[in-house]
Amino acid sequence: MALESLLRTYWRPLYVFMRRQGLDAEPARDAVQDLLVRLLEHDFLERLSPEKGRLRGYLLTAARNHLVHRHERESAARRGGGVVPLPLDFELAERIASEDARGPDEAFEREWAASVMERALGRLKEEFDSGARKGPFALVLQFFRPGEPPSYREAAEAHGMSLPQLKTFLHRARVRYRELVREEVSDTVGGPEEAEAELAELLRVLKR
């Protein structure tokens, strides 16, 4: 997984985990920044073997260890051993952490699943925006986002489609969305079997 993917997919779950562990907002921000930078500085992506576990589990363990050694890291920072902050927007992550009453591990997994789905939806939007896929992406969002979608008849009339056209359009979008979710998950595991297991875990987490 590339650096950009790592940051986009995992920094919010890590932040929610830190907050649910009892850290205040500012220390949690510092802890996430420090953890990500240190992992990347040590080229952990190059050394991580898929056979040793999934990236999600690896990072959750790293976050726990990071908190255990937090005092030592704070002391190093006071001695001038701090790291350059990463450009992360913590507003949404803080709202999620404040509203989520789950335990730290469950909160991490829930935000991991939401982040994977969000990234896949973002990639689907890019395909529509680029013209690779035809049709109104706003219509896709009406049926893919949380909340009560319009009826098929209402949506078809609003977008000048027949009911069969609408159903075909949404079916193709759903198939592609599932493919993109599978690609996002596959990037973090060692093979097809692990990817299927991770997808099953993602769905289980979202149904909680």
Q: Quickly list DSSP for the chain.
A: --HHHHHHHHHHHHHHHHHHTT--HHHHHHHHHHHHHHHHHTTHHHH--GGG--HHHHHHHHHHHHHHTHHHHHHHIIIII--PPP----HHHHHHHHH--S-HHHHHHHHHHHHHHHHHHHHHHHHHHHTSS-S-HHHHHHHHSSSPPPPHHHHHHHTT--HHHHHHHHHHHHHHHHHHHHHHHHTTSSSHHHHHHHHHHHHHHHT-
**pLDDT at residue 152 greater than cutoff 50:** yes
Provide the pLDDT for residue 49.
54
**pLDDT at residue 77 greater than cutoff 70:** no
pTM score of the predicted model: 0.75
**pLDDT at residue 23 greater than cutoff 80:** yes
Answer with the residue of higher pLDDT: 189 or 65. 65
pLDDT tier at 207, thresholds 50, 70, 90: confident
**pLDDT at residue 202 greater than cutoff 90:** no
pLDDT tier at 6, thresholds 50, 70, 90: low
Number of domains the chain contains: 1
Domain that holds residue 180: 3-206
Q: What is the mean pLDDT of residues 43-55?
A: 58
Provide the pLDDT for residue 133.
94
